[in-house]
Chain A
Amino acid sequence: MTRLGCALALLLVGIAARAAEPGAVQTPSIFAPVSAPSEAIADYAALVIGICGAIFAVVVALIVVAMVRFRARADDDGREPPQVYASNQIELAWTVLPILIVFVLGLVTARTILALQKDERPEGWLEVTAIGHQWWWEFHYPEYDITTANELHIPLSQAEARRPTFLNLQSQDVIHSFWVPQLSGKTDVVPNRTNHMWMEPTQPGLYVGQCAEYCGTQHANMLLRVVVETRDEFERWVERQQRPAVADASLADERALFERTACINCHQVRGTLADGRFGPDLTHLMSRATLGSGVALNNRANLIDWIAHPDHLKPGARMPAMQLSPAQVERVADYLVSLE
């Protein structure tokens, strides 16, 4: 089964061809799984596709044969063909056969559901709370007391030391859906309730996905990046995130400017006056590769663009343009760039 899955995966990913250069984004094909649940789904999917494909082939063959064999010929004698009204045996046959197929498919489905929607968590699991906002993601690691946005870092899970990640999914506003195809199936993020999903990645790398439930204007740019790291890398990342924001003495003025603008009502930078909760935590902004949940690369130029008019990169974004002068924008950007 896995082989059939792999073949399909190769086919699909292969046609979408791109050499897997390091750093390049992979096509988020569901047939290129790198995590326990998505692998189980890919295998199961291959089985379902196999069964449906077989049914398709047989029935299409029947249709084509009937149409070709019984097409009216040019030399037709004009007489009506024999009229056949019904046959109970035949009806019975094509009722029972599908019932059997459905029965088998139903059992396999039930088994797969039970295997994937499981309640018990192995020793050493990591808890992350993901909160959907219009239109970005917030991530909390209760174990480590860190908060970040849009780019989720999770550790590799190895056979000898399993470390699957379990997500608690919550929403701040409307319904979203967390979907990183290579890591797991999607689960909706519903206000007023906490949903759960899990991932158990087996290969380090960057995996992309995005919000999969229509949630308003910028649903298309509610992108997700999940960085799967080895144990050590992950621990280092955690350690860095736990530190308060960099306080570069040479940027004290810039920092003061930032603290005087309304940014601080919506953003948090730990160790400063900024403790807003409405927008993404900026404490370690520069540890993220992208801005605005994936709409642009995170660099000084784009930051300036973003701060001056968020609408430019992400029309409709819930962050207002703050009406700063170009010079002020540059200085705020200078400060932000220091937030390693």
Chain B
Amino acid sequence: MAAIDGPAPGVAERARSRGWTETLHDWVATVDHKKLGLLYIGAGIVFFLIGGLEAAAMRWQLAFPDNDALAPDTFNRLFTMHGTTMVFLVGMPIITGFGNYLIPLMIGARDMAFPRLNAWGFWMFAFGGLLLYFSYFGSTGLYGAGSAPDVGWFAYAPLAGKAFSRGNATDYWILGILISGFGSLSGAINMIATAFTMRCKGMTLGRMPLLVWMMVVVSFLILIAMPPLTAAQVMLLFDRFLGARFFDTQAGGDAVLWQHFFWFFGHPEVYILMIPGFAYVSEIIPVFSRKVIFGYAAMVAATVAIGFLSFGVWAHHMFAVGMGKGLNIWFGAITMVVAVPTGIKLFNWIATLYGGKIRFRVPMLFCSAFLMQFLLAGLTGIMLASVPFDWQLSDSYFVVAHFHYVLIGGLLFTIFAAVYYWFPKMTGLMLSETLGRWHFWLFLLGFHLTFTTMHVQGLLGMPRRIYTYPADRGWEIWNLVSSLGVVFQAAGVVCFIAAIALAFRRRVPAGDDPWDAWTLEWSTSSPPPAYNFAERPEVRSRRPLWDQKHPDDPDWKYE
């Protein structure tokens, strides 16, 4: 394209430059769900590296007491950007990306229901993310009180109001998240419409792969939970720019109202992040145990139950704000009830392992670690839900330990599993098993060094979001170990990046179905053609490829 107006170049040169610009054009202008999915995942991984470096900087500052490697405001910006990045620019795009990539393939469709909306969503997300990071350069504002936002990832009012947060940093936080939220919303609308209206012949709702089911539930959660965040952010924006009074405590506004709005979004949000992790595990564990998922119907029911419950528990983030006894008891109890459907899932995965022939390839390694880590994370969640205990633990490092266990031990491990599992399908290339194992073990070690210790720091009374701490509190050794762990995590991440880079150099072909799996995406070529399936498939059971491979003993006889 670019070559058209210029002086006529040599033929070879022309082909090369056209190739380059055309590839770029292909990716930028694409409406193909697979390319968009990869864009989402790729952007998510890039932001993960950035967020990880921010975390490493924080751990450097916290490694020693009274350290002054970072100025207080720098540190406060780092945890704000780290948390915001990891939740909104890492978790959200990666789960949207896998959903985009896999749902049409798994239900035998040729694209998402609204391909252009899909592309729009991605670019809104990308723009929002860049806007947030532009704050580092652009938000100095009138008072010179600028740089990145420093109000924490939940930006409690009135700290985030005009009076206490001058300059434009907080506005970048608001607008960046608000805009990138359109990506999640349009993704959710798309996934629901695709799953409900574009399934191939024979694929009843009861035969949809669990991943699709879970992404549908996630999409509903996004539709209901995201807009309240948008609304609350709009209110904050009105407060900051138009002099509205929503969270202005001088004018009778209520500081706790923001918390209710934020956590009405925030709690479902954590399940929005975790359920896709469950979804990958529910596809991967059966394949590597060589067994059908145990209790498909119970899994779907449990997911739906978690979805409903997640809207009734938000105030468990607010046990310390001084709610009445009744509310405290209610929110504590209903939060604990979430353990029941979550337990059902965990037990179903264990039952799937039971009696199988488990092959511990890299994706399965990550899933195995996930099972135990998520168990522990869930149980610390129960401790937090135990209201009086939470009066001690809230806003301490115990909470930081809890949510990194769910977000890393739960979500990130399953994302790694999913990357190792679907990478062959996405690119047609295998990832190195050796590097994968290095990645796994290094990251596992680093993760536990960093975050297991944080439980102790919390119990010893260390609050979160402090840029420094005195040397006499008995927290030193724990923090040092915590920080050391980051070295191993970073080494693990380097192996991960190296494995991906190497795969493109070595180009070991993967074949269509390297894991001997059973869902429809493995029936087409790797990578799948733009139209996905030459012929639209027709299915008779939940595991069409099992039926194909075992005509003597097909699934549909039993379901």
Contacts and interface: CB of A to CB of B under 8 A. Distances in A.
Interface of A: 12-13, 15-18, 24-25, 27-31, 38, 40-41, 44-45, 48-49, 52, 55-56, 59-60, 62-63, 66-67, 70-73, 76, 80-87, 90-91, 94-95, 98-99, 101-102, 105-106, 109-110, 112-114, 116-117, 134, 169, 173-175, 177, 179, 181-182, 184-188, 190-193, 195-196, 208-221, 223, 294, 315-316
B76 A217 contact: yes
B322 A216 contact: no
Contacts of A30: 392-393, 459-461
Contacts, number: 287
A310 B411 CA distance: 44
Contacts of A169: 322
A25 B328 CA distance: 33
Interface of B: 71-73, 76, 150, 152, 156, 158-159, 163-164, 249, 252-256, 289-292, 294-298, 320-322, 324-325, 328-329, 332-333, 336-337, 339-340, 343-344, 346-348, 350-351, 353-360, 368, 371-372, 375-376, 379-380, 382-383, 386-396, 456, 459-461, 463-470, 472-475, 477-478, 550, 555, 558-559
Contact of B72 (A17, A73, A210, A218): A218
Contacts of B298: 86, 91
Nearest to A68: B358
Contact of A56 (B343, B350, B375, B389): B375
Contact of B329 (A91, A109, A219): A109
11 contacts: A15-B456, A62-B350, A112-B387, A113-B387, A193-B322, A195-B321, A210-B466, A213-B156, A214-B76, A216-B76, A218-B72
A102 B336 contact: yes
A295 to B, nearest CB: 9
Given A28-B473, A30-B460, 9 more contacts: A12-B460, A13-B474, A67-B368, A86-B297, A86-B298, A109-B329, A113-B328, A174-B164, A214-B152
A95 B256 contact: no
Contacts of B460: 12-13, 16, 27-30
A30 B462 CA distance: 10
A98 B394 CA distance: 25
Contacts of A82: 355
Contact of B320 (A110, A187, A223): A187
Contacts of A56: 375-376, 379
Contacts of A190: 255-256, 321-322
B320 A185 contact: yes
Contacts of A45: 383, 386, 388-389, 392
B466 A220 contact: yes
A203 to B, nearest CB: 17
Contacts of A112: 387-388
A172 to B, nearest CB: 10
